[in-house]
Amino acid sequence: MTAHSARPRIAILTSHGQPSAPPPPEIHLAAVAAAVQDHLPDWEVRSATLSSKGFLEAAMREDGAVIYPFFMARGWFTGKVLPGRLKGWRYRMATPFGLDPALPALTVAAIRSALHARGWKVAESEVLLAAHGSARGPKAAEAAEAFASTLRAQMPELRLTTGFVEETPFVAEAARNCGAQSLCLPFFAQTGAHVREDIPAALAEAGFEGDLLPVLGALPGVAKLMADAIERAAETELSSPPAA
């Protein structure tokens, strides 16, 4: 591949990060980028959270990069904040992680594996999809509900409910109706404070007797899914050039 090829060979993974403590999420995202890099040997896969001041701008060293939003929805950060930070650059935007059409199949496989490991029958079990939600707008909740609907269609025998950290129905409220044979699946890309602290606290408040699973971003096969999305995005049009 020559330097003059029209196909970009730079990919930048970006996520929200943790404003109060930027380094840990930055380190985790770099590890995710390294895993994606294994599936894209001809690319340079970089990473930068939005919470680390100047990191995204430093990663954007040239036009033509594929930006991969490690987000669950096309909401405030992917629709407003990220394009604002990228103003002046020409790039290609990949589909956000949570909207990837291949993610439901990976999730169904993970749910079936978790149930099988516990000796639970699908028809006698329940999954609580614990999502972020948002006070800024409906996109986050809509993405979670659409994902839940897709899972229900693929596993019609499974009872599946949704609960949110930042809007109703809250996780604690949804978890109160769950039986002992239940799994809580965090609809999150990374294990931030919501997953480490808020969701476990809500489950404890509800007296949840089931098990808490890892976030969707930690599912087996996610790095390959992200690599495939980056390669698809490489075939799309560049963003518009900055106004003169």
**What stretch of H or E contains 70?**
none
Residue 174 CB-density burial (10 A; 0-12 exposed, 13-18 middle, 19+ buried): buried
DSSP 8-state secondary structure symbol assigned to residue 213: P
- For position 1, what pLDDT does the model report? 41
Q: What CA–CA distance (Å, rounded) separates 226 from 24?
A: 21
82, 67 Cβ separation under 8 angstroms? yes
CA separation for the pair 127, 163 (Å, rounded): 11
- Give pLDDT tens digits for 175-224: 999 999 999 999 999 998 899 999 999 999 999 999 999 999 999 999 99
Task: Please determine, for residue 10, whether its predicted confidence score (pLDDT) is greater than 90.
Answer: yes
Torsion-angle region of 50 (φ positive above 0: left; ψ -120 to 50: alpha; else: beta): alpha
Residue 154 has pLDDT above 50, yes or no: yes
Summarize pLDDT for 138-151 with one digit per residue, the tens. Answer: 999 999 999 999 99
Domains, the chain, with CATH or none: 10-99+222-233 (3.40.50.1400), 103-218 (3.40.50.1400)
Q: What is the pTM of this model?
A: 0.91
Q: Is residue 7 pLDDT above 60, yes or no?
A: no
**What mean pLDDT do residues 124-144 have?**
93
Taking only the tens place, the pLDDT of each residue in 60-102 is: 989 999 999 999 999 888 888 999 999 999 999 999 999 999 9
pLDDT: is 125 or 1 the higher one? 125
Of 60, 115, 104, give the one whose Cα is nearest residue 83.
60
Residue 2 has pLDDT above 60, yes or no: no
Half-sphere exposure at residue 74, Cβ-oriented, CA atoms within 13 angstroms: 9
Token pair, residue 244, equals 């003169």
> What would the pLDDT profile of 48-67 be if each residue is shown by its tens digit?
999 999 999 999 989 999 99
Count CA atoms within 13 Å of residue 154 on its CB side. 18
Check: CB of residue 218 under 8 Å from CB of residue 70. no
Tokens of 189: 């890309």
Gap between the Cα atoms of 84 and 78, Å rounded: 10
3-state helix, strand, coil in the chain (%, to 5): 40, 15, 40
Beta strands 10-15; 126-131: pairing state: unpaired
Number of Cα atoms under 13 Å in the Cβ half of residue 26: 15
